[in-house]
Amino acid sequence: MCRPGDRQVLSIVTSLMLFALAGAISTVPVSITIMILLSPDPRRGALPFLIGSVAGSIVVVGLSAVGLQLLPGRPRLRQDELLAQIGLVVGVLLIGYAIYLFWHRSQTDSAVVGKLKTRFQSARQWEFVVLGLGLNLRPKALLLAVAAGAVISVREPPLFQGILLVLAYAVVTQSAVVVPIAVWLKSPERAEVPLTALYTWMQRNGQTIAAIATLTIGIFIIGYSIFQL
């Protein structure tokens, strides 16, 4: 049988990974990453963009966890109840966002990505870092990062364990940036063809896939949260 401490660790890791996966399912970061890798000088932007993206997640989650612990009027419910409530709120919002994606075939993200594509040719390294940081302030990314920080704050893990949890969340939620860059670094020449094909496919189907995956994760988070009550 699992000890109470083991169950708590499993609970927090499960919640964080679900939030991180929901954050990773987004067409904008992966599209921007692929555009950088297919640009004339990908080495100038790839690593700075990766650093900015991961660092942004770490900062938002870390500040959320620390800030919520310092709140004077923190709720005094049981930890499991608080985690379940956080999960229910996030799950409902994700389902609402998925429905929005299904019913609104907006071209806003594509337009933004298109403008960035021309900008990349003259952008400096620090601008790629700022871009990576800024993508963490999109509403969905911010919601999930704050929720992840709240989960860590509720459980109040030891400092080292808390740092590992923040890092794990950041890497997983930024996997749409991390994985393409890692593949490209391994073999830039061989990566060009599959990255081009992936970019073209995502422009046609990315929003639908993101909506289905977000809806699925939202439902799963709600079910898991109810199970915790």
Q: What is the pLDDT of residues 180-221, one digit of tens each?
A: 999 999 999 899 999 999 999 988 888 888 899 999 999 999
Number of domains in the chain: 1
Does the pLDDT value for residue 24 go beyond 90? yes
Does the residue 114 lie in any domain?
Answer: yes
Residue 191 belongs to what domain range?
44-69+77-228
Does the residue 33 lie in any domain?
Answer: no
Whose CA is closest to 176, among 41, 27, 16, 36?
27
Backbone region of residue 187 per phi and psi (left: phi > 0; alpha: psi in -120 to 50; beta: other values): beta
Query: How many angstroms separate the CA atoms of 186 and 189, rounded?
Result: 9
Is this prediction's pTM over 0.95?
A: no
Per-residue pLDDT at 175: 96
Query: How many angstroms separate the CA atoms of 196 and 203, rounded?
Result: 11
Per-residue pLDDT at 40: 85
Does the residue 204 lie in any domain?
Answer: yes
Per-residue pLDDT at 121: 74
Per-residue pLDDT at 5: 56
Tens of pLDDT, residues 46-97: 999 999 999 999 999 999 988 877 766 555 556 777 788 889 999 999 999 9
pLDDT, mean of residues 140-164: 90
Does the residue 84 lie in any domain?
Answer: yes
Does the residue 163 lie in any domain?
Answer: yes
Tens of pLDDT, residues 104-151: 765 555 566 667 777 787 789 999 999 999 999 999 999 999 999 988
Q: Do the beta carbons of residue 208 and residue 16 sit within 8 Å?
A: no
Query: How many angstroms separate the CA atoms of 166 and 57, rounded?
Result: 8
Per-residue pLDDT at 110: 58
Does the residue 3 lie in any domain?
Answer: no
Does the residue 101 lie in any domain?
Answer: yes
Per-residue pLDDT at 27: 86
* Consecutive H or E run containing 122: none
Does the residue 88 lie in any domain?
Answer: yes
User: 51-71 as b/e, with b when 16 or more CB fall inside 10 Å?
Assistant: ebbbbbbbebbbebbeebeee
Does the pLDDT value for residue 4 go beyond 70? no
Per-residue pLDDT at 105: 63
